[in-house]
């Protein structure tokens, strides 16, 4: 899970800084829907991990209807043609020190009293890693058909 978060943060950082924009001509618009146990899945972080050399990873976040558009460097710009494995995650935090109290404890030098929240994963375990998800796509030059990601199973839960 830490690797997924690290990769996602790296993608976002590169997108925000504009690094490496050369050589990304020919991005293909890819959109789709994602469901969990037959229901639209809102707030899912979807990560495309390249299996084709010299191809960048890409990501998306699903909306309330389970719809998403893939981003490589700029919002909804698409993805490079190639083969990708896909992982999905949705973490919510439960408990922990409320924000205002967290600030007060920090100012008072009482950091040892800060309670860490529990991370709860809303996605079944197998989808958390691209290698085990069973989700993959080959993106071809030009417009691709809408991608449908269908997830089934019980959430992984506390992590």
pLDDT digits (tens, 9 = 90+) for 57-116: 999 999 999 999 999 999 989 999 999 999 999 998 888 888 889 899 889 999 998 988
Work out how many domains the chain is built from and give that number: 1
Task: Give dist(CA 149, CA 156) in Å, integer.
Answer: 18
> What global pTM score does this model have?
0.75
Structural domain includes residue 108: no
Is the residue at 103 inside a domain? no
Report pLDDT for 17.
47
Its domain, for residue 61, covers 2-89+123-151
Per-residue pLDDT band for 144 (boundaries 50, 70, 90) equals confident
Determine the pLDDT at residue 26: 87
Tokens encoding 141:
């030059």
Q: Nearest-5° angle of CA 41, CA 47, CA 53? A: 155
Dist CA 1 CA 8 (whole Å): 11
Report pLDDT digits (tens) over 6-20. Answer: 455 445 554 544 444
Tokens of 102: 């967290």
Q: Rounded to an integer, what distance in angstroms lies between the CA atom of residue 44 and that of residue 91?
A: 9
Q: Is residue 157 part of a domain?
A: no
Asked if residue 137 belongs to a domain, the reply is yes
Whether 24 shows a pLDDT value over 80: the answer reads no
Question: How many other CB atoms are found less than 10 A from the CB of residue 61?
Answer: 14
Is 16 inside any structural domain? yes
Evaluate whether residue 101 is within a structural domain.
no
Q: Which of 33-47, 77-91, 135-149 has the lowest mean pLDDT?
A: 135-149
pLDDT at residue 157, as a whole number: 85
For residue 74, give the CATH number of its domain. 2.60.40.10
Beta-strand relationship, 31-36 and 147-151: parallel
């Amino acid at each position: 899970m830490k690797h997924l978060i690290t990769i996602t943060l790296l993608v976002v950082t590169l997108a925000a800084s504009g690094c490496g924009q050369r050589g990304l001509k020919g991005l293909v618009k890819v959109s789709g829907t994602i469901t969990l146990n037959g229901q639209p899945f809102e707030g899912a972080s979807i990560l495309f991990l390249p299996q084709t050399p010299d191809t960048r990873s890409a990501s998306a976040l699903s909306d309330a209807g389970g719809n998403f558009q893939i981003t490589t460097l700029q919002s909804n710009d698409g993805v490079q043609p190639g083969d990708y494995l896909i992982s999905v995650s949705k973490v919510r935090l439960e408990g922990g020190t409320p924000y205002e109290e967290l600030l007060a404890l920090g100012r008072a030098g009482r950091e040892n009293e800060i309670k860490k929240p529990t991370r709860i994963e809303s996605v079944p375990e197998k989808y958390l890693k691209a290698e085990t998800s069973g989700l993959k796509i080959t993106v071809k030059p030009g417009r691709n058909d809408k991608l449908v990601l269908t997830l089934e199973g019980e959430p992984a839960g506390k992590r």
